[in-house]
């Protein structure tokens, strides 16, 4: 059994996709050991509690208020997760960039989901930025990727799964967001099945 930690900052729809895949046997031999969030009101925590999964709320603010370095936060979070015997980290809408103080605890075992293709729109608001680029005639598609996090670079690292998402003439930003998010759910489960279950 491969024990994973899922890290969320928001609604947790990608977490729900993983929960459903585990429950239905799509991700055999995978167990969500803990769900962590840096935001108390993240709906992802409620999803985890409803599914009977342990949760932890671990905010950065107390560290910054105390003048403590970011590495302290990352190291302490890694310590918490290690107590749950976690083998893999899945960043599913986690809105923090980890330092090496966290990454070194899980070398080549941190997966990040990003709603853009490799090398495009790193960081926040990727879908909105892609839609804006489309409106300016710069692109005709965007996409979703899942990649390994080997270092502190933002939304960069070896890609394990990716798929293009076309931007349609009839699209609004909201309709594009809905299609990208639906694609995220499928691709994340596919990537987990490939990397953790050996299914390609």
CATH number at residue 102: 3.40.50.170
Burial class (CB in 10 A: 0-12, 13-18, 19+), 50: exposed
Cα 141 to Cα 56, 114, 144, 177: the distances in Å are 37, 15, 11, 12
As a whole number, mean pLDDT of residues 98-115 equals: 97
| CA 89 – CA 106 distance, rounded (Å) | 8
Q: Of the residues 79, 96, 114, 147, which is catalytic? A: 114
The tally of domains found in the chain comes to: 1
| CA 162 – CA 59 distance, rounded (Å) | 30
Q: Residue 165: pLDDT above 80?
A: yes
As a whole number, mean pLDDT of residues 139-152 equals: 97
The domain of 151 spans 2-197
> For residue 9, what pLDDT band results from cuts at 50, 70 and 90?
very high
Report the percentage of the chain scoring pLDDT > 70: 99
As a whole number, mean pLDDT of residues 123-136 equals: 97
Task: Say whether 114 is catalytic.
Answer: yes
Reported as a single tens digit per residue, the pLDDT across 60-92 is 999 999 999 999 999 999 999 999 999 999 999
């Amino acid at each position: 059994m491969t024990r994973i930690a899922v890290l969320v900052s928001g609604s947790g729809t990608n977490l729900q996709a993983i929960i459903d895949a585990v429950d239905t046997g799509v991700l055999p031999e995978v167990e969500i050991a803990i769900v962590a969030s840096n935001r108390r009101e993240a709906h992802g925590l409620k999803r985890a509690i409803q599914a009977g999964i342990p949760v932890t709320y671990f905010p950065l603010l107390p560290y910054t208020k105390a003048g403590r370095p970011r590495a302290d936060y990352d190291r302490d979070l890694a310590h918490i997760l290690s107590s749950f015997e976690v083998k893999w980290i899945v960043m599913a809408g986690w809105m923090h960039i980890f330092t090496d103080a966290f990454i070194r605890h899980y070398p080549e075992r941190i997966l990040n989901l990003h709603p853009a293709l490799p090398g495009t729109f790193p960081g926040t608001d990727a879908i909105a930025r892609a839609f804006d680029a489309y409106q300016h005639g710069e692109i005709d598609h965007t996409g979703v990727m899942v990649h390994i996090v080997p270092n502190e670079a933002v939304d960069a690292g070896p890609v394990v799964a990716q798929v293009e998402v076309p931007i349609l003439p009839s699209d609004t930003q909201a309709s594009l967001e809905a299609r990208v998010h639906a694609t995220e759910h499928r691709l994340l489960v596919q990537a987990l099945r490939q990397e953790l279950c050996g299914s390609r």
